[in-house]
Chains A and B, each alone.
Chain A
Amino acid sequence: MGKIIKYILLDIIKNKIVIAYTIFLLAITLSVFSLEDNSQKGMLTLLNLVLFIVPLVSIIFSTIYIYNSSEYIELLISQPIQRKSIWLSIFVGLSSALTLAFLLGVGLPLLLFEQSAVSFMMTAMGVFISIIFVVLAMLASVTTRDKAKGIGITILLWIYFSLLFDGLILFLLFQFADYPLEKPMVGVSMLNPLDLGRILILLKMDISALMGYTGAIFKDFFGTKTGMALSVTVMFLWVLLPLLYSLRKFKHKDL
């Protein structure tokens, strides 16, 4: 498996898109820190980067990569290699490439410029989000043979997690405005890794003071060790469950 990961990583790096992505992230991070006099504002720009650009690039790049390497996968499958190790190698290859890109582009400069809880949380969430969206891409591409359809599903998934889900929440909040919804919202936020990531980062920023009572409830929950442990577990589940499901599908996939 190690060798396959090596070849996949080499292939991704040769692809140059990941390098371009790293440079893009780095350029934004550096310009944010050199242009913004207020680090709070810079953090908000990076928050948007982590919440919108990182998942979008992760999911689309991974999907296209998997479709484009269907020949490679076929070649490997005819060899005495377990399907499981092929699929997991793709997972490790893609997620480590994209995580590395994120760490070099955002995480490291961030931690160098400002060693704060926010920077640390931002980096951790960025890594989680990168990996989760790689896994979602793997799930999308294992469900359909058609590349165009696969990319379509991928974009829909991204829109769902970054927009539709929140729209749905807003709708429900107004439908059930008469009920105290602050506490249930803690649970709901776990159904979307982007929401969970965003809230965890905002809570580490001073900005949580603006979030009033809702912010206080979230802070009470996520501020505790249990809350933190739970949210990390949820993030891991967001990686693990789709990965295992896609693996199951891949094992029975006809090539």
Chain B
Amino acid sequence: MIEVTNITKKFGKLQVLKGISAKCEAAQCIALIGPNGCGKTTLIKNILGMVVPDSGTITVLGTDISRGWKYRSAIGYMPQIGKYPENMKIGQVIEMLMDIRRMEQKTDEDLINAFALPQLYHKRMGTLSGGTMQKVSAAIAFLFKPQILILDEPTAGLDPVASEILKEKIITEKENGKLFIITSHILSELDELVSRVIYMHDGNILFNNTIEALKADTGETKLSRAIAHFMSKN
């Protein structure tokens, strides 16, 4: 579904991506992990078209993203720190997005209801706590039933109940054949979700394989331990 070939990106003097190539297929749940500043978010932003790569190509669902923008309707994105117009209310943001994308298929409002967002519709985005903001971001990401979901630190600010709701949603949607790319530092959370791991370090992909292969390689049963093992080897 997503194919990234030889992506490089420089911010000023800093080479953030040093020739990344990867392939992601449907019905996978990919954990994109690595230390802070390794280029995870930049890679995601490249795929989303928010950052334009210096070289290399990205195709989503078979189309080169540098030549289009419609592919983004196939992607739901939940940012690490949601940024929303401060003066808008939650209801207005959701309403606006639905208005702008009205021509599209029916919406998936499971998470909106599960997080009980309608009760908070009158609250201004500027006044929200980090957790509530994350709930809004998650709900928006799933709203238009995208085939690809990119979740950047999805559970970082969520309370355990919300976190659990989100995880269950991920599992059901994965079974519906959707592709998930999730970045997280809390590896224990990913254990039950992830089918594949991409490990990035300093702008390169060091590891890209199924979770079974990783566990077999390292001889560990838990993802977090397997990664720790892997990191210490390098």
Task: List A residues at the B interface (Cβ < 8 Å).
Answer: 3-4, 7, 11, 14, 69-72, 74-83, 252-255
Contact = CB atoms under 8 A, between A and B. Distances in A.
- Nearest 8 pairs of A and B residues by beta carbon: A71-B83, A80-B73, A80-B72, A72-B85, A254-B51, A255-B50, A78-B77, A82-B69
B69 A75 contact: no
Interface of B: 11, 45, 48-52, 69-73, 77, 79, 83-88, 93, 96-97, 99-101
A11 B87 contact: yes
B69 A80 contact: yes
Given A3-B100, A4-B100, A255 B86 contact: no
A252 B52 CA distance: 6
Contact of B85 (A3, A11, A79, A254): A11
A198 B40 CA distance: 54
Given A14-B87, A71-B85, A74-B83, A80 B50 contact: no
Contact of B100 (A74, A81, A254, A255): A81
A254 B69 contact: no
A82 B73 CA distance: 11
Contacts of B96: 7
B101 A80 contact: yes
Contacts of A76: 100
A79 B143 CA distance: 12
Q: Tell me which of B45, B79, B96, B101 has the highest count of chain A C-beta atoms within 10 A of its own C-beta.
A: B96
Contacts of B101: 79-80
A78 B11 CA distance: 20
A204 B201 CA distance: 68
**Chain A: interface secondary structure?**
helix
Given A81-B69, A255-B45, 14 more contacts: A7-B100, A11-B85, A11-B88, A69-B85, A75-B85, A77-B48, A77-B50, A79-B97, A79-B100, A79-B101, A80-B69, A80-B70, A80-B101, A83-B49
A75 B69 CA distance: 14
A83 B69 contact: yes
A80 B76 CA distance: 10
Contacts of B88: 11
B72 A75 contact: no
7 contacts: A11-B87, A70-B83, A71-B85, A77-B48, A78-B50, A83-B69, A254-B11
Nearest to B79: A78
A195 to B, nearest CB: 38
B113 to A, nearest CB: 22
A71 B45 CA distance: 15
A254 B50 CA distance: 6
Nearest to B76: A78
B78 to A, nearest CB: 10
Contact of A78 (B72, B85, B86): B72
B5 to A, nearest CB: 20
A11 B84 CA distance: 13
B51 A255 contact: yes
A47 B14 CA distance: 50
A140 B52 CA distance: 20
A74 B48 CA distance: 11
Contacts of A82: 69
Contacts of A79: 72-73, 97, 100-101
Contacts of A78: 48, 50, 72, 77, 79
Contacts of B72: 78-81
A81 B72 CA distance: 8
A11 B88 CA distance: 9
B52 A80 contact: no
A16 to B, nearest CB: 11
B52 A254 contact: yes
Contacts of A72: 84-85
A165 to B, nearest CB: 33
Q: Tell me which of A75, A76, A77 has the highest count of chain B C-beta atoms within 10 A of its own C-beta.
A: A75
